[in-house]
Amino acid sequence: MRDVDEEVRQIKKEIVESRGLIIKTNNLVNALGADIKSIAKRQAGYERRLNWNSGVAIAVIGVLSFVGLKLYFDAQTGAMRSDRLAAETAAEELRNDLGDEVRRASDRGTAAAKASKYYDLIRARKRREVVRDYPAMAKEALSPAEAAVFRDFEQQFRQDLSLEAYQKGLGLADEKKHAEAIKLFDEALDRHPNGSHIPAVKQSLALSLRREKRSAEALVYAQQVAEQTTDVALQADGWWLVALCARDIGDLDTARDALKLLIKKWPRSALSRDARPLLREVTREAYLGKKAAAAAPVSVP
């Protein structure tokens, strides 16, 4: 009987312990369910965020890819445009060069024909035609050698024509045809103004102008002859003519200065012997002129 009671107590104890264990197990199961639900919620949130981030990442990658493609396309388009412009520029330059070359060839052909005709004038010694046509010929597309030859011939013919006009002028001056001589002397000056014979031309021109009662004009050329250094042998004649022309127009001071210079610089020349009495005469005229001017009554305003 005692054993049965003991066994019943033991069974009750086990029943109580089993019930407590069941309660604990149930609590653990409930807690585990809550944890599983929480984990499921967090997993769902994580998956949503992951999906959202993935979408954003895909969108960003898409945008960046589009921008990159756009930049690459623009760069390629710009490079192609630059290449096209460079090619068009090169083609235009080639067309211009070709046109220039064609024009040069045409000009050269025209110049060659004109040069041949011009050279015929030179060989025929047609000096006036050579001098007349030279300015137009110099503008043609000549070779350096042709240009140099034509320039030399033109200068030589100018000098020849100038000397020819000068010689003819001297002949007319000897015949006392000074008006006609003046035209030829002017032509000689125009033909070759820098020739070595030009001082003599100006001297002869001044003499003819003085003979034509144009002493003021003659004085200009006489002074140029007196002051030039190309032909120093004519300087004394120039100062003598300066004195004569200045006296003609009443410029006695200039005449006196010219005579003094002539006597001082060329004291032994024949002109100096003539200059001394003329200087005394000019000095007397200047003195009398000043005396007359001083004696003249002063008009009262």
List, as one string, the DSSP characters of 149-199.
HHHHHHHHHHHHHHHHHHHHHHHHHHTT-HHHHHHHHHHHHHH-TTSTTHH
CATH classification number, 159-289, choose in 3.90.1490.10, 1.10.3720.10, 3.50.50.60, 1.25.40.10 = 1.25.40.10
Q: Taking residues 115-124, what's their average pLDDT? A: 87
Average pLDDT of span 12-40? 79
Q: At what angle do helices 235-248 and 252-265 cross, to 10 degrees?
A: 160
- All residues at 6 or more sequence positions from 191 whose CB lies less than 8 Å from its CB, including other chains: 131, 158, 159, 161, 162, 165
pLDDT band at 196 (very low <50, low <70, confident <90, very high): very high
The reported pLDDT for the residue numbered 211 is 96
For the ranges 34-38, 176-180, 220-224, the lowest mean pLDDT is seen at: 34-38
Task: Kindly state the tokens that stand for 77.
Answer: 């388009």
| Residue-averaged pLDDT of the chain | 85
Between residues 255 and 86, the one the model is more confident about: 255
Q: How far apart are CA 162 and CA 282, in angstroms?
A: 37
- Which amino acid is it at 253? D
Structure tokens at 38: 């929480």
Q: What pTM did the predictor assign?
A: 0.61
Question: 């004291």: which residue's tokens?
Answer: 267
Question: Would you give the DSSP letter of residue 140?
Answer: S
Amino acid (one-letter) located at 74: D
Average pLDDT of 290-296? 59
298: left (phi over 0), alpha (psi -120 to 50) or beta: beta
Q: Nearest Cα to 108, choosing from 135, 150, 143?
A: 143
Task: State yes or no: pLDDT of 124 exceeds 70.
Answer: yes
146 vs 11, more confident: 146
Give pLDDT, residue 300.
31
**pLDDT confidence of residue 79:** 81
How far apart are the C-alpha atoms of 245 and 220, rounded to whole Å? 9
Output the pLDDT for position 93.
82
SS3 279: helix
If you count them, how many residues does the chain have? 301
Q: What confidence tier does 242 reach under pLDDT thresholds 50, 70, 90?
A: very high
Q: Which residue has the tokens 């104890």?
A: 13
